[in-house]
Chain A
Amino acid sequence: MTRQQYRFDIFFVPLLAVATALILTAIYVVFLRAPVEAHMGIVQKIFYFHVPSAYAMYLGASACFLGSAGYLLKPTDARDAFARAGAEVAIVFGAIVLVTGPLWAAKAWGYFWTWDPRLTTAMLSWLVYVAYVVLRIFAGNGPGERRFAAALGIIGAANLPIIHFSVQKWGGQHPIVVGHGGGGLAHPDMKIGFGLGMLSFTFFSMALLWTRTRLEIVKSRLMRAEQEAIDLGLDDRTEA
């Protein structure tokens, strides 16, 4: 086992263990301790994982931005891998946001979707990261494609503050419960459930980000090693 592999295990296993423990605790608090909301009923419990998913999407998108900006300053496999991992994490958690939100809205608003500023900007941002990953899958892995993707990763991040402040600037139907202008969570167990949801998804998204980055770095190094082996005549797998 190399030194780098050892470091990988040191980070990944505790991250996953902490995330798992926190998620199980969050599920217990949300479903067995937190009271049912007075107006919306049981469907309000979607909130405890919907908002943390949105936050995890921001984390992934921020990672994509940092990796992309870093890659444009100094191109390395690790920075490119971090950007790509961030985009994929943003897609996964963004998909959760876009699925769970409408299911809550069906009960609260009476319909699944409306072109509300926050919903629209969130979907737009998610589509930017889908475009990023599609570009990486189909356009190859050369330095030019990586630079182009890095530019897209930076542009995609420009939408993040727009999503966040869209409710305050343009109104719309999306509720503000936590944070600026929000009424907050009335019951202490609601606060605990929400806090655990946020914390567990932070650790879970970090674990996913870490393992996906690591995987992409290994892939890049392996591709380079394969090419070197072929050039040196060591790898005969390409021979007819």
Chain B
Amino acid sequence: MILFALHQNQPKEPQDRSTEFAAVDGTHEQYNGATLLVTAYALLWILLMGFLLMLWRKQRALGRRLDGLEAAIDRAASKTHIS
């Protein structure tokens, strides 16, 4: 049954298939300019703010590592002082 249905859907002649795609005449407004403009500016700021956010996160991670190092040095110094 399925094979029969598939057979029925096959184009019989090559000319039945599409061989080219042509643009429809008179369609100047394919994309809305305002939408494209807003999208472009939104993406611009998302990319720039994303980079700034990445820098801020890196800065915070470095701050935490610096705090850890300072704490380790303080611990070592207090041990030396006690002994």
- Which of these, A95, A218, A235, contacts B73 with CB under 8 Å? A235
Chain A residues bordering chain B, tally (CB within 8 A): 36
B44 and A96 contact, CB distance less than 8 A? yes
A215-B59, A222-B66 are known contacts. Are A92 and B47 too (CB-CB below 8 A)? Answer: yes
- Give the bracket for the number of chain B residues in contact with chain A: 20 to 34
Chain B residue nearest to A215 (CB atoms) is B58
The secondary-structure label for the interface of chain B is: helix
B44 and A43 contact, CB distance less than 8 A? no
Chain A residue nearest to B65 (CB atoms) is A222
A107 and B62 contact, CB distance less than 8 A? no
A106 and B43 contact, CB distance less than 8 A? no
A107 and B72 contact, CB distance less than 8 A? no
Contacts of A212 in B (CB 8 A): 55
A103 and B55 contact, CB distance less than 8 A? no
A225-B69, A229-B73 are known contacts. Are A103 and B47 too (CB-CB below 8 A)? Answer: no
Stretch at the interface among A45-53, A151-159, A184-192: A45-53
**A interface list, Cβ under 8 A from B:** 40-43, 45-46, 49-50, 53, 88, 92, 95-96, 99-100, 103-104, 106-107, 110, 204, 208, 211-212, 215, 218-219, 222, 225-226, 229, 233-237
